[in-house]
Amino acid sequence: MSSSSNPSTHHTSTIGSIGAPSRRNTELALLVFAVVIAVFAYANVGLAMNDSVPPGLLSYGLGLGLLAGVGHLVVRKFAPYADPLLLPLATLLNGIGLAVVWRLDQSQRLQQSPNFFEAAPRQLLNSALGVALFVVVLIFLKDHRVLQRYTYISMVAAVILLLLPLVPGLGVNVFGARIWIKIPGLGTIQPGEFAKIALAVFFAGYLMVKRDALALASRRFMGLYLPRGRDLGPIVVIWALSILILIFETDLGTSLLFFGMFVIMLYVATERTSWIVFGLLMSAAGAVGVASFESHVQQRVQAWLDPMREYTLSQEGVLGHTEQSMQALWAFGSGGTLGTGLGQGNSDLIGFAANSDFILATFGEELGLAGVMAILLMYGLIVERGVRTALAARDPFGKLLAVGLSGAFALQVFVVAGGVMGLIPLTGMTMPFLAYGGSSVIANWALIGILIRISDTARRPAPAPAPNPDAEMTQVVRP
């Protein structure tokens, strides 16, 4: 007992191993909390706007609670070691998103617009579909490494999904951006949201195989590792694809999302800063180049540089100008630090797309800076848990896939929030979970499902050591 005989020289500590806790009960508690917050938001909107507790409160609370409960039970059964935060955070964002979509349904101004419809019931249905897809992912995707087999199939799927809006008759041009397809009887779908997941699978599978060539075969020049010309192939192809999206679908957000996701995954796979420099230069060159001749992109850039001028022009009735950017900025401004309170703002002045692309402006006005910061932190926590999952994952494919998915999620939040707040030109994408939009909610629930599957694999305790056949005693067979 050396620790007892010379106690002054060494500190002594005892290490007892504790099994990795599954933390499902923490998740359940947080889920209950999340549903309660969402119901609170719903009641608050009703009390503020109609002076009464909304009649649908019970069914709304039960509906959201049921979705959360189903999600939780499936995670408990099929992914018992998964991260305890992803599901509650997604549920809370979805829940308060629903409450605010309902709040905008109650707005007198929006109800007078010709293409008004009750969005909240549809959004609840979309959330149910999203949770259903989440459940399907968890039940049928037993191991995320299975996705690795479909590397090139998912590339083809992603390219098809991205090109679908360009097919005549199928794609529809909504306010200048061609990122929707119309399926008769089903409504419109934004295939780009699903392409995001397929592309992450492809990039992860591709980079896992090629990363050594991309990382090691390079020359050093001015502190940067310059890759060989032939290794530049893939990044140039993806760049060309994203530029094509920008030209033909005139949507900066989708284009930025895919190229950004590729650059993030390339950087994580190769640990070479030069890729980021190249990526930034290429995307800047591409965006500036396209903006110089594409009128729709030019409009967006104009509205970003001088929203007040756009507003005046649109008030004067000049076609092709929008007052939305300025209205969104005013909404943020009048919200101040603590906001006007749910249901008491005037963010419905934004008009069209107030409950989808511009939903963050409503949060900015009614919950103020404090509320928007809390919501951005929740997005940040989802991304953090995704990256944490990537760190804990033991296989390179899982690592890259988790980084890609959470990177895409982060970029989407940045592109939308930045657009609404006037940091970058506005694009036609939706805030994940918060905004009204079927494809977005469904695809993001699937994304959370895949992240939960990877984190379950990553956090599962290692199996007991296999019995060593050599260690067994030799058996003597006696006659």
Partner 1 sequence: MSELTLTVMRLGFLAVLWLFVIVAVQVIRSDLFGTRVTQRGSRRDANRPQQAARQAAPPQQRQQAAPPSGGGRQRRGAPTKLVVSEGILTGTTVALQGQTITLGRAHDSTIVLDDDYASSRHARIYPDRDGQWIVEDLGSTNGTYLDRNRLTTPTPIPLGAPIRIGKTVIELRK
Q: Which residue ranges make up the site for partner 1 (CB under 8 A)?
A: 1-5, 7-8, 10-18, 20-21, 23, 26, 30, 33-34, 37, 40-41, 44, 47-48, 51, 84-85, 88-89, 92, 338-342, 344, 367-368, 370-371, 374-375, 377-378, 381, 384-385, 461-462, 464-465, 468, 470-471
For residue 410, the minimal CB distance to partner 1 (Å) is 17
How many Å apart are CA 306 and CA 422, to the nearest integer?
Answer: 10
Q: Which is nearer to partner 1, 72 or 385 (CB)?
A: 385
For residue 85, the minimal CB distance to partner 1 (Å) is 6
For residue 3, the minimal CB distance to partner 1 (Å) is 6
How many Å apart are CA 124 and CA 111, to the nearest integer?
Answer: 19
Q: Which is nearer to partner 1, 285 or 374 (CB)?
A: 374
- Sequence-ordered alpha helix ranges (H) in 356-395: 359-366, 368-392
Check residue 220 and report its DSSP letter. E
Q: Which is nearer to partner 1, 51 or 316 (CB)?
A: 51
Check residue 142 and report its DSSP letter. S
Q: At residue 179, what are phi and psi to the nearest 5 degrees?
A: -120, 10
How many Å apart are CA 320 and CA 422, to the nearest integer?
Answer: 19
Q: Which is nearer to partner 1, 84 or 260 (CB)?
A: 84
For residue 444, the minimal CB distance to partner 1 (Å) is 18
For residue 458, the minimal CB distance to partner 1 (Å) is 10
176-181-184 Cα angle (round to 5): 130
In the numeric block, the tokens 């944490």 are attached to 388
Q: Give the pairing type, strands 224-227 and 171-174.
A: unpaired
For residue 94, the minimal CB distance to partner 1 (Å) is 14
Check residue 322 and report its DSSP letter. -
Residues in the chain: 479
Q: Give the pairing type, strands 224-227 and 218-221.
A: antiparallel
Q: Which is nearer to partner 1, 244 or 381 (CB)?
A: 381
Task: Confirm if 262 and 254 have CB atoms less than 8 A apart.
Answer: no
For residue 81, the minimal CB distance to partner 1 (Å) is 11
Q: Which is nearer to partner 1, 316 or 470 (CB)?
A: 470
For residue 36, the minimal CB distance to partner 1 (Å) is 8
Q: Which is nearer to partner 1, 65 or 192 (CB)?
A: 65
Q: Which is nearer to partner 1, 98 or 297 (CB)?
A: 98
Q: Which is nearer to partner 1, 197 or 378 (CB)?
A: 378
For residue 96, the minimal CB distance to partner 1 (Å) is 8
CB neighbours (10 Å) of residue 33?
13
Q: At residue 271, what are phi and psi to the nearest 5 degrees?
A: 60, 30
Task: Confirm if 328 and 353 have CB atoms less than 8 A apart.
Answer: no
Instruction: Give 315: exposed, middle or buried? Use CB within 10 Å, 0-12, 13-18, 19+.
Output: exposed
For residue 79, the minimal CB distance to partner 1 (Å) is 16
How many Å apart are CA 438 and CA 104, to the nearest integer?
Answer: 17
Rounded to the nearest 10 degrees, how much is the dihedral formed by the CA atoms of 257, 263, 265, 270? 180
- Give Cα separations from 189 to 161, 163, 197, 415, 452 (angstroms): 11, 13, 15, 20, 25
Q: Fill in the amino acid letter for 379.
A: Y
Q: Which is nearer to partner 1, 17 or 115 (CB)?
A: 17
